[in-house]
A and B are shown apart, each in its own frame.
Chain A
Amino acid sequence: MGKLRIMITVNHQKHEVDVEPYETLLDVLRNKLGLMGTKPGCREGECGACTVNLNGKAVLSCLMLAAQAAGKDVLTIEGLQEGARLHPLQEAFVKNSALQCGFCTPGMIMASKPLLDANPNPSEKDVRDSLTNNLCRCTGYKVIVDAVLDAAKSVNKKGAHDEN
């Protein structure tokens, strides 16, 4: 039997891809769609580097078959910016120097986005809780948490501006 043809929406774009039954979403994103922003870390659900959003929720793309994402909406780090404008989370990570090697960053940002979407005023504990599945071996986490809180502030400012 072998290959399955699936329809999958990645970063607001529909794709028709042929996948193997055992291929993970992570491998299909990277190897078949060329989206290298989603990182393979441990490939067993420990590190969170491969975190993407599936229908608006943070999931681990290494523990999900591509076939299971068929018909669903996948958002990766590449889909966050609008044109040349970075997402507030991306801006805040740059501004707060919330990375050193950067390998965990896409996962950190994709784990934080659903939090900010659901709760634009998160506490430090909310941020830390939503990042418990994500490992960083460089920063000691403080700057990452600061960046997410900072992003929440600018999301709120933007929201207030939009209403005016």
Chain B
Amino acid sequence: MAYFRPKEYCQPSNIAEFFDLLSKYQAKARIIAGGTDLLVQKPFGTECLIDISGLGLSYIKKTDSGIHIGATTKVVALENSPLLAQNPFAVLSEAAHAMAGPTVRNMATIGGNICNASPAADLPIALMVLNASVEIMGPGASRSLPIGEFFVNVNKTALKDDEFVLEIRIPRSPRSAGTSFLKLRRHQTAVDLALVNTAVSVEKTGNICDNVKIALGAVAKTAIYAIEAQKYLIGRKLDPEVIKSAAKIASDESQPINDIRGSADYRRRMVEVLVRRAIETCTRRCQLWEN
């Protein structure tokens, strides 16, 4: 059938019920939570919609190991959570605030945003610099993947047909780490996908960079780490020339395409600008904690 005409809608109230449905319909089932991606895509051949909002996966919890965020947690909750209000976790609430518009943020979920695997998505790059992991559950076993390995291609994740995302875990981070999220849109006040977005996290002693993560969005088939730029920065003094060079390296690592939002060349230049500014902001935010 050429239309989106699922014959069934189910809202399982526990995980066992959920897996029964998923194994019954397999590839013909679609998981729905916020609906803001699925009901735009309206995938053909869907026979059953499984609504996971009744599984109790809407939470942001502080634990001994870090912060756990349930898959169906709304983006608006990330924006407003006191647990994500401070550096370094604030990079996630900044990304949440930059995403879509307020009405969509009232509906969209963190699990949906990562499972849609848009290369331009805002939350994944913030999660990448926080070293988050994705907790995946299958009918028999659970597994955990670093978020950077979760995305395998445009709109394609490492999830198998019989698996789903249970929660996202952010490990404890040193409070001294400085983070930053920046997003370039065609018009900065409009609701738009990113032309380029970047998240950066920096840890330093004095002015020497101890650790750095640079994640780039909308400039490759998936969100990527600028690995060479990271390597270059570690152990170096974070002065303006070094930061500039690192930004240039990150730009060379990006593999953007031409599309209606901008040219590949423009995107590469903007990677350089955004990465430089994000590192500068991180450096300032590190200092705030040192003082």
Contacts and interface: CB of A to CB of B under 8 A. Distances in A.
Nearest to B38: A63
A58 B6 CA distance: 26
Contact of A57 (B7, B8, B36, B106): B106
B103 A59 contact: yes
Contacts of B9: 4, 21-22, 65, 67
Given A1-B8, A4-B9, A65-B9, A58 B32 contact: no
B103 A51 contact: yes
A58 B7 contact: no
Contacts of B100: 133
A48 B103 contact: yes
A58 B40 CA distance: 18
Given A58-B103, A132-B101, A133-B102, A63 B39 contact: yes
B32 A65 contact: yes
B6 A45 contact: no
A68 interface: yes
A62 interface: yes
B53 interface: yes
A49 to B, nearest CB: 11
Contact of A59 (B8, B106, B190): B106
A21 B53 CA distance: 16
A64 B191 contact: no
Contacts of A134: 103
Interface string B72-94: 00000000000000000000000
A51 B9 CA distance: 23
Interface of B is mostly: loop
Q: Which among B4, B6, B7, B39 has the highest number of chain A CB atoms within 10 Å?
A: B39
Contacts of A68: 32, 35, 51, 53
A57 B108 CA distance: 13
A58 B106 contact: yes
A64 B39 contact: yes
B36 A45 contact: yes
B36 A21 contact: no
Interface of A: 1-2, 4, 20-22, 24, 44-46, 48, 51, 57-60, 62-65, 67-68, 111, 129-130, 132-134
Give the top 9 A-B pairs by smallest Cβ distance, nearest first: A133-B101, A21-B9, A133-B103, A132-B101, A67-B9, A44-B40, A63-B39, A57-B106, A58-B103
6 contacts: A22-B9, A48-B101, A58-B106, A60-B103, A68-B51, A132-B189
